[in-house]
Amino acid sequence: MGGAGRGRRRRLGRLRRALLAALVVSVVVAPLSAATRPPIPAPPPATLAPLSAATLPGTYAANRANAAEASRMAAAHGDHGRATADHAMASPSRNLLAFDGRGTGQAIEVFGDLAAAEHIAVLVPGTDTTLETFGRLHAGALALHQRTGPRTAVIAWLGYDTPRMLSTAVLTTSRAEQGAPRLERFLRELRRMVGPLPRVSLLCHSYGTVVCARTAAAAEVQDIVLVGSPGTGVDSAAALHTRARVWAARGADDWIADVPHTRVGLFGTTVGFGTDPVSPEYGAHVFAAGDGGHSDYFKPGSTSLANLTRIVLGESPEVTHA
């Protein structure tokens, strides 16, 4: 008991130190960053017809045009990093269900034929995902689509304002509480468009697992996958109140394993996200993720990507377990 108690105190100490560091950054660094980077001008999002197979081409074209205009406005403002990111989104090869160049930016990108897909995977990212860093999410979604094949559509969903790694928001559920209703609404619209037959999987990474946990009860999906999770804000898969099969994995070199999986009250708010989803106590189906790190779950050739492919395709018996 003495050793266990000391271990718990050390974990709580690390969490408190992390919070203190985040507080210093948010109080000192964040205001300075905001002062040195004025808001980037961008057009409002395009006005779109209700989502359907018939309206998809027009939706894609309207969002590409909006991204092109956002790129021109960012360049005129002198923000060449954002201009370059927006310009990439405007490429004729990109299929965007949504695009918003304001603030840190939001975008929803489709890989594959969404109208004809038999399997659909929705990727929900975590911290520090913005239009400037969207390339990482794009690469992961593309790698998954290449593995799952032509009968599958993969959707990269950046539909919320992700927290920055060095901020207090990354330690609480506040951004997840804002993002979850948007994800829930998107999944409803998606299901209305594709009908009841396609198998839909929700693949959630890092802080994105906190967002997915708040969407789980209302999400009409077959699988919810939690990778690289700091915790979900609930203590078990059963507490998600979902009929979906809940999966979890963590790579052997993922630093998230060193994050204390606990919740504590500090400064009038709850900090941390509770039980580790790969622990037996959580009750998820734990699968092998190989030796990868925190950003390697969708890496081509990885054990993790192979198992994510099997889950998306409904090949549960073929999934290798940790």
Chain segment 4-52, per-residue pLDDT in tens? 445 444 544 554 455 444 444 443 344 434 444 568 999 999 999 999 9
Q: What pLDDT shows up at residue 11?
A: 47
Low-confidence ranges of the chain (pLDDT < 70): 1-38
Q: What pLDDT shows up at residue 117?
A: 98
Read off φ and ψ for residue 272, nearest 5 degrees.
Answer: 95, 170
Q: Would you say domain 2-37+104-318 falls under CATH 3.40.50.1820?
A: yes
Model pTM greater than 0.75?
yes
Q: Rounded to whole angstroms, what are the CA distances from 80 to 42, 77, 85, 137?
A: 13, 8, 9, 21
Domain ranges of the chain: 2-37+104-318, 44-94
Tokens of 120: 């659909």
Q: Rounded to whole angstroms, what are the CA distances from 229 to 16, 139, 203, 216?
A: 19, 20, 11, 15
Q: Are 130 and 100 in contact (CB under 8 A)?
A: no
